Amino acid sequence: MKILVIGAGGMLGGQLIQKLATRGTLNESPIAKITRHDVVLPPPPPHSDFPIETIMSDMAAEGQASAAIKDRPDVIFHLAAIVSGEAEADFEKGYRINLDGTRHLLEAIRLQGPDYKPKLIFTSSIAVFGTPFPPAIDDEFLSAPLTSYGTQKAICELLISDYSRRGMLDGISMRMPTVCVRPGKPNKAASGFFSNIIREPLVGLEAVLPVDDSVRHWHASPRAAVNMLIHGAELDTARLGARRAISMPGLSCTVAEQISALIKVAGPAAAKLIRREADPTIQKIVAGWPQNFNTKRAIELGFVADASFEDIIRIHIADQLQGKLN
Amino acid sequence: MKILVIGAGGMLGGQLIQKLATRGTLNESPIAKITRHDVVLPPPPPHSDFPIETIMSDMAAEGQASAAIKDRPDVIFHLAAIVSGEAEADFEKGYRINLDGTRHLLEAIRLQGPDYKPKLIFTSSIAVFGTPFPPAIDDEFLSAPLTSYGTQKAICELLISDYSRRGMLDGISMRMPTVCVRPGKPNKAASGFFSNIIREPLVGLEAVLPVDDSVRHWHASPRAAVNMLIHGAELDTARLGARRAISMPGLSCTVAEQISALIKVAGPAAAKLIRREADPTIQKIVAGWPQNFNTKRAIELGFVADASFEDIIRIHIADQLQGKLN
């Protein structure tokens, strides 16, 4: 079992590789090797009983996709993308990385010939959906993205479904919820505050809340997200039929419910570190985001969401703070 | 008002140019010129009070899209595609013509700079939808194509919506019903029989019906289809919002209803020329096609379907048989 992780340097890629290193197997086969691919040098790999190689290259550059799959990995996790804000700010770069890069990968796989048909797990996004929304987005709701990033993800979903239908690869596009609590420093992503208002107060630091308490959103802990990726890799895709793009289960909750969970887990003092500072730009962006889903298909296929936002906070404390509260 | 018609050599392109030549105006502006683009030489142009130029080139070849729009047409009708069967048989050609060709056009427009923002009317297809279907496909139903052709059309829709949202062009993707009665000779398209069983008996010739009488499908006459294209070009796209892909209204009827209309218009002898000869391959393809739609948005936007299948037959007799029945 050889595994290639594209976008291995990202948060989810790092946690996925850590988890695979701990398990040592995927789909009941011992892992022989993981190849980490990224455009920048990822952090040092975790300890593992199998070799972990690293390739640095630009998948969107001619020939790089073929080079990345030259030893024919059995499973490919494709997590690489430039984020929504950057794809919106730089039209050409967004299409080059998020669309052409993925297409080069699919073409490189196809051109290996009919005896190579890897499993491909592609992280898509709820950004493939655009307003107006029904109360809960179901499995038959149209993709009408309102960003170039969402457009690029929706196009890759269509390509992966078509290449899979034609037997050139065995793909699944997983529309991930917003990962929360995202570890690391506060960043400028418009969605950053969903994590900031939990992560920072847990270590005694102030966090800014730019939107109203009533804002509702769709979340998954990093641990739940990694488990979904692994479940996607182990899933019998015959169960998917031709519809290879699936909205993943998540937890729908309001900012008020997030804060209430924070108080339950860490006490009222933590919530006092959340400073309300309205930001009309962020409010406008967030108003266009999905709030709730009915992910019947994914649940039937065995994908599992976090049970509560309190659980999401406890997972962050366990995985990022060594189980300790300040 | 300069107009570019890409795919001008096709049946719909020819009828569109004929109609524009008769009208002499589009969106209340006199037509100064029509440029016909195709990869093969189109038939001689109709008489018109304005010049009709012809460019032959391959839009998917480097630089050809830029050359085709070099005099900055105000309105571009993009009708060119290789058909479903060919895109399925030749994977690379399908993606090259139906996806890359369109993308080159969009990029050529974008690279003209912000002072050029043409209206773009793109003929998409109901092939963007795949089974299982609801009883009628509404405006929020997902695109889950079951052919590479449908995938390519769905991707072009997404691109046109994104380029439009970003102000690079002003596009609309129109998902056309199956055009019926299609003039010309019987061809090998899987959908050909819907037209063959009307067109051939009307001139005293036998036609083969490869499917059951109960098969239901979604039709528009060539005249209705051309009127839709012109309405699309004249529509105020501010009414579309960000969702630039729209299923066009059509007429949903069964093969039995088609035959019943044929008898009403041309008498029982015509229907006797229909020879039933089951074709499992065609039956299987047709079983995956949409049968009925609820095109609320398109109807609100003023797009108009044929009133009955009898009307569709009468339009064929008027436009193709000089109003005369054999």
Q: What is the pLDDT of residue A85?
A: 87
Q: What is the pLDDT of residue B285?
A: 86
CA distances from A13 to A46, A123, A222 (A): 12, 11, 10
- Kindly report the length of chain B: 326
CB-based contact B246:B174 (threshold 8 Å): yes
Mean pLDDT calculated for residue range A130-139: 96
Chain A positions touching B145 (Cβ under 8 A) are: 158, 161-162
For A200-231, the pLDDT digits (tens) are 999 999 999 999 999 999 999 999 999 999 99
Mean pLDDT calculated for residue range A228-239: 97
Q: Which of the four pLDDT bands, split at 50, 70 and 90, describes residue A325?
A: confident
CB-based contact A35:A73 (threshold 8 Å): yes
Q: What is the pLDDT of residue A186?
A: 80
How do the domains of chain A map onto residue ranges? Answer: 2-176+222-247
Q: What is the pLDDT of residue B326?
A: 62
Question: Which helix or strand (DSSP H or E) is residue B125 part of?
Answer: strand B119-125
With respect to CATH, is domain A2-176+222-247 assigned 3.40.80.10?
no
Nearest chain B residue (CA) to A137: B140
Mean pLDDT value across chain A: 96
Chain A positions touching B137 (Cβ under 8 A) are: none
Closest CB to A146: pick one of B144, B151, B165: B165
Q: Is the dihedral of CA B204, B13, B148, A148 positive or negative?
A: negative
Mean pLDDT calculated for residue range A16-43: 97
Mean pLDDT calculated for residue range A63-81: 97
If one compares B281 and A100, the residue with the highest pLDDT of the two is: A100
Q: What is the pLDDT of residue A326?
A: 62
CA distance A251 to A267: 22
Model pTM greater than 0.95? yes
B149 catalytic residue (yes or no): yes
* Res A278 pLDDT > 80: yes
Nearest chain A residue (CA) to B144: A243
Q: What is the pLDDT of residue B280?
A: 94
* Res A185 pLDDT > 90: no
Query: Which residue(s) pair with B174 in the sheet?
Result: B123, B246
Mean pLDDT calculated for residue range A186-203: 91
Chain A positions touching B158 (Cβ under 8 A) are: 143, 145, 151, 154-155, 158
CA distance A155 to A278: 34
CB-based contact B121:B77 (threshold 8 Å): yes
- Tens-digit pLDDT profile for chain B (326 aa)? 999 999 999 999 999 999 999 999 999 999 999 999 999 999 999 999 999 999 999 999 999 999 999 999 999 999 999 988 899 999 999 999 999 999 999 999 999 999 999 999 999 999 999 999 999 999 999 999 999 999 999 999 999 999 999 999 999 999 999 999 999 888 777 899 999 999 999 999 999 999 999 999 999 999 999 999 999 999 999 999 999 999 999 999 999 999 999 999 999 999 999 999 999 989 988 998 999 999 999 999 999 999 999 999 999 999 999 998 86
- Best B162, B173, B175 residue to mutate vs chain A (most A CBs within 10 Å): B162
Q: Which residues contact B79 (CB under 8 A, 6 or more apart)?
A: B5, B6, B7, B8, B10, B12, B13, B16, B123
DSSP state of A185: S
Burial class (CB in 10 A: 0-12, 13-18, 19+), B51: exposed
